[in-house]
Each structure stands twice: as structure tokens, then as C-alpha cells.
Amino acid sequence: MKHNNHRKRPQGRGARGPAPSRPELPSLVRPQAVKVQYGKAFILLEDEDKNTFEFVGGNWVPYARSISDCRRDCNVTALSQKLGTKTRYEVREPLPE
């Protein structure tokens, strides 16, 4: 005996009423972020004690700010190459307006 259930059409749910109305939400207007222009990149080196050094004239000279200070207002990118156990960073300071 063969089953013929596969030929039956699924029954519809009938006529639907109008879609329920939703209250309109006010559109959110966000102010556009100001584009920050950054200057030329320079390289910093950070050791295990969080001391930072800048490469000037072929030598690593102590730098006044730490990497965490630089991250607050500068564009800081960690570079993949390390010098021994020290980490290299590319830092770009914002240009004055």
C-alpha cells in the first residue's frame, strides 16, 4: 500500500489582518567624529620594566612618556619584530590644529 501524503498541499493560515502598528522611534542623530590627522611615525622600544626608548641618530635614547601614556592621545601600533625581549612600537602623534 502506497502512502500519498506527500501530494497534499499545506493548509494556509487564512487571511491575516493588517500588521500591528508599532510606535515610531525617533531617529538617533550622532555627531560625526572629528578626523584626527597624525604626523610622521617614529619607533619606540619598551623593555620588561616598562621603560621606553626612542631611536635617535643610531642610538636608543630614553623617552619621557610610557607606551600607556602614548596610547591615550597617539596612534600606537605594536610591531611584530622584537629586539631580544624588548617590544617595538610605531607611534604617531596628532598634528596640531
pLDDT for res 42: 92
pLDDT per residue as tens digits for the range 12-64? 666 666 777 777 777 788 888 878 899 999 999 999 999 999 988 889 999 99
Mean pLDDT, residues 84-91? 93
pLDDT for res 6: 64
Say if residue 1's pLDDT is above 70.
no
Q: Which residue has the higher pLDDT, 20 or 69?
A: 69
The helix/strand/coil state of 9 is: coil
State the pLDDT confidence band at 95, using cuts at 50, 70 and 90: very high
The model's pTM: 0.63
DSSP string, 20-85: PP-PPPPPP--PPPPPPPB---EEEEE-TT--EEEEETTEEEE-SS-HHHHHHHSEEEEEEEEETT
Please state, as a whole number, how many other Cβ atoms lie within 10 Å of the Cβ of residue 92: 17
